[in-house]
Copies of this chain bind each other. A is one copy, B any other.
């Protein structure tokens, strides 16, 4: 065993022996149609056309005022492992998915294009181009499902988690929902919650992979295992010390608190309440703890909390919130509606042309888009601005105006992943970005009640020496 290491010193996933279990191919976490499209496009020569795909959502979940982008770092980690090796190629051949020549192409596949996007943790609105993938059709089309799986799930969790940390007004939120999500989604959920300001997680793998602090002491089973509550508390304090958190509601809360303080002393770290009317109970338990001299003992509550329950406990003497089901399932919105759309492609003459599916209802703007957030003099967001126009203008655009904060950052440059966004350091950077971005929202935007997007999305059209702004959604 090596010496203790702080979370900050943990090497990033990807360079770390501890992450070894994740270093296997992600290439089949893909919909079959991506490979069949590649197969047909290689045959007719269109596979080499230069393409731009954008990831965006057409709308926020009903009543939500903003979304939180999460998962970008995981996309980059997965991209590094997106390769077709012998086991993948062999299965594709057996299953007859693509032709032999396409298998040869896949054997040599590496993404050599470029990806830019909103920094992880950034807030997004309808139409925000949160990720822009630039490469040949062949290399970009294969990433659709994997990119969307990661961003749709992680952003759903972060978007819900941000409402919870906002409602908690500075009290720590603890992620404890692993058991209510697929076992690997649980790790991603812990990570996404951390991006949105959660202080810790119960999930050990999330601690290992991403350096997120882990918490947890005991369940009701531990009390029930023992002949009585006092034996259980004595066993826990003997091993974990008096600073531990004792679960006091297995039999009777009042007797549980009395026993807890008697066993651990007034220096008891915390008591946990996992059932009952938490607001009322917290007041009673606080009074009892204070009367017993345990004035520094904290109260953790953990029973089916969501952002609304957290808000309703604001006046209760609660010290931290353990959140389970609602955070890992996106609190009513378990996935985002992000799509991965071809917005421009090289035509017969070699120039990049905007493309879009015909639709009366789908209001997406064709062509590559830049993005910026327009701020008022107080630094508050007033508009989400999509920068549209000729591709060359959009790619070279930079704001003349200091009130426009550009939103795109480079993530992958000609196939090289920028590792600042990955691993444990990426999660910390994303959490900082989220805090700053949320602080920038207009006053009232963090209310939990149902309302429209906190700022409108508008389009600024470049080109021809004039620029016109029009509402895109």
Contacts and interface: CB of A to CB of B under 8 A. Distances in A.
Contact of A204 (B30, B96, B186, B330): B30
A198 B400 CA distance: 55
Interface stretch (A109-117, A148-156, A311-319, A451-459): A148-156
Given A18-B87, A94-B2, A180 B335 contact: yes
Nearest to A42: B239
A240 B90 contact: no
Nearest to A146: B183
Interface in A223-270: 224-227, 231, 234-236, 238-240, 250-252
Nearest to A71: B182
B179 A43 contact: no
Interface stretch (A44-52, A376-384, A410-418): A44-52
A158 to B, nearest CB: 13
A42 B216 CA distance: 17
Interface stretch (A280-288, A351-359, A385-393): A351-359
Work out how many copies of this chain go into the complex.
2
A337 B41 CA distance: 46
Residue from the set A34, A97, A103 with the largest chain B CB neighbour count within 10 Å: A34
Contacts of A43: 235, 238-239
A129 to B, nearest CB: 16
A222 B178 contact: no
Interface in A20-73: 20-21, 24-26, 28-37, 39-41, 43-44, 46, 49, 51, 53
A214 B35 CA distance: 12
A357 B220 contact: yes
A204 B341 contact: no
B182 A150 contact: yes
A334 interface: yes
A355 B250 CA distance: 11
Chain A interface size band reads: 35 or more
A89 interface: yes
A221 B37 contact: yes
A149 B205 CA distance: 14
A217 interface: yes
A163 interface: no
A45 to B, nearest CB: 9
A306 to B, nearest CB: 13
Nearest to A53: B221
A178 B149 contact: yes
A193 interface: no
A165 interface: no
B94 A178 contact: no
Contacts of A240: 36, 39-40
A443 interface: no
Contact of A334 (B3, B46, B49, B334): B334
Contact of A202 (B33, B93, B345): B33
Interface string A185-207: 11110000000000000111101
A403 B64 CA distance: 52
A25 to B, nearest CB: 7
A466 B87 CA distance: 59
A334 B329 contact: yes
Contacts of A94: 1-5
Given A5-B94, A181-B185, 19 more contacts: A1-B103, A2-B90, A20-B87, A28-B204, A30-B178, A31-B203, A36-B236, A40-B240, A43-B238, A44-B234, A44-B239, A95-B207, A97-B204, A97-B214, A145-B186, A152-B179, A224-B355, A251-B358, A329-B335
A-B pairs, 3 with minimum CB distance: A21-B24, A33-B216, A32-B216
